[in-house]
Structure 1
């Protein structure tokens, strides 16, 4: 049987040389790619030999729709150029893949108010888990200086722009074994940015836990983000 598609989140448009085109109104669904149900799909698309291409002209705030084209490519995206994947500039990913012998990837990030203010905890949790699972040589540039430094650098930019995304606090907890230690005990990383408020009518807490298996053992990554204005988030 074929895989079930969520009709409320996918919009199939005219067929081209690409497999499919997704389009959705950003005013109605402001967290299109970064919805809870779509985060794992987004990560899976990249890791399962697919490439996502965003058109800059369609992600401008004055445009009501966002079109996404997906095309099969040979080779794993993260295996080819993982270190270039970073969220320090902005949160829109442009991945271009060239088929055949000229296979290569180019990751660019553009600033946009449409998706910048709507990145949930699940996206960060999946991304941090991936960086922990990768070898140090294959990690993103900021994660090469250490897991804690990479997490802090990745989330600091998102938190420091809280005037746009209404974030009041971020908390990250990593537990488990992801590197070799002399004692063999479990490792722990705790990072707090701002104040993580409790769930209430005035605050919303977005939280997600990712569990991965490394060659040293099991590791869990929990990311919690609290928003002080719920209506602007959802």
Structure 2
């Protein structure tokens, strides 16, 4: 039942929109589909090479004009020094009949800056000898960035990067599950998640399937908006897959009332 496992196709034009919009005849559909996938792969390879987080890509075509909207982190140009003019020239050389334009948009979220102080509570739980590793800080930053913007691509991309470098995977996978549980306790809008790994993990002779789940993921109900993302990472033993489902409430992000009460009680005790 692929339409239930991947909760995107059934919810299109209801809770989700198409990432690419083409105004063309039906006869040209198959050629343009491959053309769309090639452009997205081209950008993904560039951003992966520079270790830059690509949040989203939207493509819109009208007549001969193609507008590509790329959503990236704030101030990414300064840190990674990407030459965007060269990218446009390369695309126009490969596809001379089309006029391709590139629009780069920085994602700004003010709620993340306001609620960033509350992340100290997570740091206190994960502390060891009053010190926090740099890897743990990166993990918390990536997870918080993904939850406030509601883009799960960031989590799967972070998992892919780290697992490709490491030889043993079990310890890191358990840390990710613990981190998701902490966010599940913190936010009332975060109702459930499911994380799945498949492949020859930890240099095993046979492929394994590891599933971590907590809360509810109602795939049958079309009214709910469920975020889903799939990614792959390479290991010496073969290719492994990552699947992530996350279910949010359709409201603004707020901290859980129980979490706030605990924080207020601790402050009063200090005084």
TM-score (ref. length: structure 1): 0.49
Q: Which has the higher strand share?
A: 1
TM-score (ref. length: structure 2): 0.43
